[in-house]
């Protein structure tokens, strides 16, 4: 089964990642925040909760384009998103439970 592109990220193709922040606070779920500029010029900041299996390697941050897939049908212990480099170079890849749009700074 092919995983569909998550509905909130259909326009994220061609994204230039500007910042990646990993947050860990006692009593709170881990979070990874990505700030990126979409191909259409829109600046977005998104917090992904419970990031798992994080992989970052060269040529990061030049990931080509950002791909966010809805993997909720896979039943992966509550993980519902796969965030990856759309060119599958594995410059960036992780699973997450949820995504929350934050105000761009």
3-47: per-residue pLDDT in tens? Answer: 656 555 655 556 678 888 999 989 999 999 988 887 778 888 999
1 domain residue, yes or no: no
Q: CA-to-CA distance for 98 and 105, rounded, in angstroms?
A: 21
Q: Which domain holds residue 73?
A: 7-102
59, pLDDT greater than 70:
no
With 0.85 as the threshold, say if the pTM is over it. Answer: no
Number of domains present in the structure of the chain:
1
Give the pLDDT confidence score for residue 87 in this predicted structure: 67
> What pLDDT, in 10s, does the model give residues 77-101?
888 898 887 666 677 889 999 999 8
Choice between 104 and 13, residue whose per-residue pLDDT is larger: 104
Which whole-number Å values give the CA distances from 8 to 36, 69, 70, in the listed order?
Answer: 14, 10, 10
- 11 domain-assigned: yes
């Amino acid at each position: 089964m092919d995983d569909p592109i998550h509905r909130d990220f259909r326009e994220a193709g061609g994204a230039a990642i500007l910042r990646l922040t990993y947050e860990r606070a006692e009593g709170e779920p881990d979070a990874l925040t990505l700030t990126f500029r979409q191909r259409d010029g829109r600046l977005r900041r998104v917090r992904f909760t419970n990031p798992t299996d994080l992989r970052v390697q060269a040529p990061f941050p030049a990931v080509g384009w950002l791909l966010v897939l809805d993997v909720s049908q896979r039943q992966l212990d509550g993980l519902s998103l796969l965030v990856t480099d759309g060119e599958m170079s594995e410059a960036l890849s992780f699973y997450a439970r949820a995504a929350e749009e934050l105000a761009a700074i």
